[in-house]
Amino acid sequence: MKVAVVTGGNKGIGFAIARGLCEKFDGTVYLTARDETRGLKAIEELKKNGLNPKFHQLDIDNLESIQRFRDYIKEKYGGLDVLVNNAAIAYKNAATEPFGEQAENTVRVNYFGVLETCKALFPLLRPRARVVNLSSSAGHLLRIPGENLRKKFVDPNLTEEQLSELMKEFVESAKKNTHSEEGWGNSAYVVSKVGVTALTFIQQRKFDCDERPDLVVNAVHPGYVDTDMTSHKGPLTIEEGAVAPLHCALLPPGVKSPRGKYIWCDKKEVDWISGPVPSQC
């Protein structure tokens, strides 16, 4: 039996992606969430619509939770066919926490949480599996002001370990309040999502050398969506925000492109390095 997993699926874009997979994916769909009560409530809502998702608790900011989920999927199904890394956090513009604290928490969840989830679940991916890393328009490289930093991100030989060191360097500079002069800019969310996008390219390079055929991962900007994360300022519905992620999650076997790309909300590939950054959605 094929299995699909959506992290952070109890609301917003993650919920819409889980719903879309229930409708279109030929297999079992797991809606996961950090909070079990909220997750089960989301499951009940989908069941009212005649859908049949399953729930499992998963907090990507908790290694024990990640490992419990990995062990459960491995024991029950023996493998995984679709993984949508949607779970993330974002501080509001009016947040009063020190920027160093915001940077540490945002990068820990949005980058390192995704990384640890992938490390745990990638060994379970079956041939022709599809992975979608939810990025953002904020995840475009040009959102990083420093040219020297951008050069490090685009190094074709960049490793996961080196990328993780870059993420740690940002957090340290944020704590010392030197992040702006070092070229990082003033958004921890931007840095975390640039990290996720860069991670995607590294992961696809590894997949291309994997003995399991046709493994594909893409980073997707879902659009500016009406969710809690955007304080409901986004013009798109959660269903519209789920379009591009679902497209990448359901790519057919043997697809030539996109593979290891940065995909916009209109399902088109965007030049991550040089731009331009599209203005729509």
Residues in the chain: 281
- Of all residues in the chain, the percent with pLDDT exceeding 90 is 94
**For range 86-91, the mean pLDDT:** 97
CB-based contact 83:125 (threshold 8 Å):
yes
Per-residue pLDDT at 231: 85
* The two structure tokens encoding residue 63: 């290694």
pLDDT digits (tens, 9 = 90+) for 114-153: 999 999 999 999 999 999 999 999 999 999 999 999 999 9
Is residue 184 scored above 80 in pLDDT? yes
* The two structure tokens encoding residue 86: 């949607």
In a domain, 178, yes or no: yes
Band of the pLDDT at 230, cuts 50, 70, 90? confident
Band of the pLDDT at 229, cuts 50, 70, 90? confident
How many folded domains does the chain comprise? 1
Per-residue pLDDT at 33: 98
Which range among 135-139, 180-184, 207-211, 226-230 shows the weakest confidence by mean pLDDT? 226-230
Per-residue pLDDT at 140: 98
Per-residue pLDDT at 268: 97
In a domain, 217, yes or no: yes
In a domain, 210, yes or no: yes
Ranges assigned E (strand) in 108-249: 125-134, 216-220
Give, as one character, the DSSP assignment of residue 253: T
Q: Dihedral of CA 116/118/121/123: which sign?
A: negative
Per-residue pLDDT at 233: 86
**For range 26-39, the mean pLDDT:** 98
Q: Which of 188, 101, 107 is nearest to 144 (CA)?
A: 188
Q: Report the distance separating Cα 76 and Cα 81, nearest Å.
A: 14
Q: Dihedral of CA 145/146/147/152: which sign?
A: negative
Is residue 171 scored above 90 in pLDDT? yes
> What's at 230, amino acid-wise?
T
Per-residue pLDDT at 281: 82
Per-residue pLDDT at 74: 98
Per-residue pLDDT at 228: 87
Catalytic-labelled residue, pool 30, 72, 111, 189: 189
Q: Which of 152, 141, 144, 125 is nearest to 217 (CA)?
A: 125
Per-residue pLDDT at 45: 97
Is residue 4 scored above 80 in pLDDT? yes
Mean per-residue pLDDT over the chain, rounded: 97
Contacts of 172 (CB under 8 A, 6+ apart): none
pLDDT digits (tens, 9 = 90+) for 241-258: 999 999 999 999 999 999
In a domain, 218, yes or no: yes
Per-residue pLDDT at 40: 98
Q: Report the distance separating Cα 253 and Cα 213, nearest Å.
A: 10
Q: Which of 50, 48, 18, 21 is nearest to 33 (CA)?
A: 18
Asked about 262 being catalytic, the answer comes back as no
Query: What's the CATH number where 198 sits?
Result: 3.40.50.720
Q: Are strands 80-85 and 54-57 parallel, antiparallel or unpaired?
A: unpaired
In a domain, 252, yes or no: yes
In a domain, 238, yes or no: yes
Is residue 279 scored above 90 in pLDDT? no
Q: What is the SS3 assignment for 225?
A: strand
In a domain, 275, yes or no: no
- Integer CA distances (angstroms), 55 to 7, 31, 73, 119, in order: 11, 5, 12, 21
- Integer CA distances (angstroms), 278 to 36, 136, 193, 197, 266, in order: 37, 12, 17, 16, 10
Q: Which of 158, 188, 180 is nearest to 272 (CA)?
A: 158
CB-based contact 23:47 (threshold 8 Å):
no
In a domain, 241, yes or no: yes
Q: Is the pTM of this model over 0.95?
A: yes
